[in-house]
Amino acid sequence: MLIKRNTSYILSLTGIITIFLSLISNIPLQYYIQAKGLLSTEFSKYENLKYGYKMLYPSDWQPEARSDGNIVSFQTCSNDPSGDLLTVTIDLNPGIQPFDVYIQKKISDEKKLYSDLNILKEELTKLGGNPAYRLIYSLQDPVSGDMKIKTHIWTINNNTGYDFSNLVLLKSYSENLPMIQKLIDSFEFIPRMNIDADN
């Protein structure tokens, strides 16, 4: 009984501290709760030796390589089509062109693909330590009618294009931000190997 009481006390104290930090810093309480949940999540490591990158993903998500491994998707194991979907796509032919020209072409391609997209944010960022560009927009799912948020982060490494994208329901976008940011931060480029098998 003593151990149980001590555990309850620790959890209660943690809750009090969480609320206190939220109040003094003017940061919404939900972000502290999300961060706390992130700390309890178990992660696995995915490596793609053929295309030279590695990253973390939640252990209860399912990675699936398509084509020859140049498209890898990570989705919640619930197989719910409305759930999180994260995809890394390799562009083997980015061409010899300035980075800003490559990015403008990518943005133009997205606008052609989704005529109703509403751009929410555009910014320079980093992916795997490389200069990158982030595009965030909302769109309506043509099948379900649900409003969703899609994020792309594009970069070029050794004449190969990398597209780190995430698609999530609008209503759950903010609560997924800490998780997605952790996966972005975990993305690293590694030496490529000349192999034929998917990784």
pTM of the model: 0.77
Query: Which range among 15-29, 52-66, 82-96, 183-197 has the greatest average pLDDT?
Result: 52-66
Residue corresponding to tokens 């961060």: 35
Q: What architecture is the 42-189 domain classified under in CATH?
A: 3-Layer(aba) Sandwich (3.40)
97 or 87: which carries more pLDDT confidence? 87
pLDDT in tens, 80-94: 555 568 999 999 877
pLDDT at 165 over 90: yes
CB-CB contact of 29 with 18 (8 Å)? yes
Nearest residue to 60 (alpha-carbon basis) of 83, 39, 35, 41? 41
pLDDT band at 22 (very low <50, low <70, confident <90, very high): very low
Query: Which range among 3-17, 30-44, 179-193 has the greatest average pLDDT?
Result: 179-193
